[in-house]
Structure 1
Amino acid sequence: MLEKLKFHLASFDMVVKERTTATVIIEGTWGFEHTKACFRDDIIPFVKNLKELFTSFNQCLIDEVTEVQNIFKQMKLAVEQHCAEKTKFQTKMVKVLKENDRLLTQALSVEIVNIVVHDNVKFDCLNVDACAHCITTESELKLDFIKKECYEMLLQ
């Protein structure tokens, strides 16, 4: 397209230089018929070609602008989709963090209960051990007492 435009401009430039030289003007060849023929043969076709070139160039520009607009629309849609996905991800992340907090609280509660129960069991075990020791001692004393009583009875 650009080559066509250069070609037509060069040919128009050649025509203008040829027809407007000083000798041609002095000789009086610039009459009405000559001007009419010049317009018909050179200027009108040049203007038509120029108009076609500009129309073609205009269409190419419109096509390029349309393509760029389509690309920007696609980019805008991609950005909007990414934002929506980001929002969904953030929502999921908040839910996961809340669930983690809940599980941590539950785990701490269970640990506290285990510590309290373990301490109580330990204390009760100490009491049971102490009671068992007392019972053993009491049993031994009773046996000793019974033996002593039996012995005293035998002696009487």
Structure 2
Amino acid sequence: SVQTDEPNLFGTTIVEVPKELPKVSMLNSCLKKLKFHLASSDMVVKERTTTTAITEGTWGFEHTKACFRDDIIPFVKSLKELFTSFDQRLIDEVTEVQNIFTQMELAVEQHCEEKTKVQIKIENVLQENDRLLTRALSVEIVNIVVHENMKSVCLNVTACACCVINESELKTDFLNNECYDTLLQKYHTLEKHCITLEVNNQLNTEIFQRDTWSSQESVLTFAELFEINNLKAQAQAKDTMILKLKEKLNSLNGDVKDRYVK
């Protein structure tokens, strides 16, 4: 018998299956013995029933008794033992074959169970991969939204900085009274724009903090923490720029009032 080549993944006992079925050599030997005894009996009967034996008067009572004692009774006894041995060996071989088939069925059932367990493990791994992929996509979407919000804030601050008029140009325009109304209108527009920009920046900061708190359920990587710190630094820089713009606007407003009084 040989052991199956597949590894034992779950600690179960591997059933040993014979390589081949047993041969019927014992049955053949019994049949040969039976043929030999039958041939011997046939020779005895022919010898005892010949014409010479009958005419010689050998078929008396003593002769018949001796024939039964020496030939027939041992032959019948030997024949009975032979048939008994033949039946027993036949039963043993049939039982052995049945045991072999039982072991083969157990081995097949065992491999089917192991195959089912492996398939279940594969399905669990695939489901875990899908869950991790969904989680990674969610984090990526949050990062994209935060990046776009900060990019929008940067663009608004840049536009605000471009709209600020240089102080020297403003003083030059003060010399022309016709430009005063236009300058005053630009000042009010710029002031409203800065207020709107400050409100938008505050809203974006709150949204960013809320998204950061909601994403704290998942474990952040070092790269994600580094990106969040960079975004916070950029937001703080934009707040500083807005404060400087407000201070400059207040300074320009004071200059405009002084010019207007003069």
Identify the match of residue 143 of structure 2 among 108, 114, 124: 114
User: In structure 1, which of residues 88, 93, 97 is the aligned counterpart of residue 117 of structure 2?
Assistant: 88
Structure 1 residues 126, 37: CA separation in 2 closer, same or farther (over 3 Å shift)?
same
Whole-Å Cα distance in 2 between the matches of residues 88 and 144 of structure 1? 81
Residue of 100, 108, 113 corresponding to 1:71 = 100
Question: What does residue 146 of structure 1 align with?
Answer: 171
Aligned partner of 1:7 in structure 2 is 36
Shift of 1:48: 1.2
Q: Greater share of helix residues, 1 or 2?
A: 1
SS in 1 for 2:138: helix
The offset of 1:14, in angstroms, is: 0.7
2:96 and 2:47 mapped to 1: Cα distance? Answer: 44
1:25 CA drift (Å) = 4.5
For 1:130, what is the secondary structure of its paired residue? helix
Partners of 2:46 and 2:157 lie apart in 1 by: 128
Aligned counterpart for 2:75 among listed residues 20, 43, 46: 46
Question: Identity over aligned residues, as a percent?
Answer: 73
Pairwise CA distance, 1:149: 6.0
Superposition RMSD in Å: 2.7
* TM value normalised by structure 2: 0.48
Where structure 2 has 5 or more consecutive residues not aligned to the other structure, the ranges are 1-28, 176-258
Q: How does 1:92-107 map to 2 (within 5 A)?
A: 92-107=121-136
Report deviation, 1:6: 3.3
Q: Which has the higher contact order (CA 8 A, sep 6+)?
A: 1
Structure 1 alignment gaps of length 5 or more: none
Moved more, 61-70 or 114-123: 114-123
Structure 2 CA distance for aligned equivalents of residues 104 and 148 of structure 1: 61
User: Across the two proteins, how many residue pairs are aligned to each other?
Assistant: 147
TM-score (norm 1): 0.75
User: Partners of 2:75 and 2:161 in 1: how far apart?
Assistant: 125
Structure 2 Cα separation of the partners of residues 94 and 86 of structure 1:
12
Using the TM superposition, give the Cα deviation of residue 12 of structure 1 relative to its aligned residue in structure 2, in angstroms. 1.0
Q: Residue 48 of structure 1 aligns to which amino acid in structure 2?
A: K
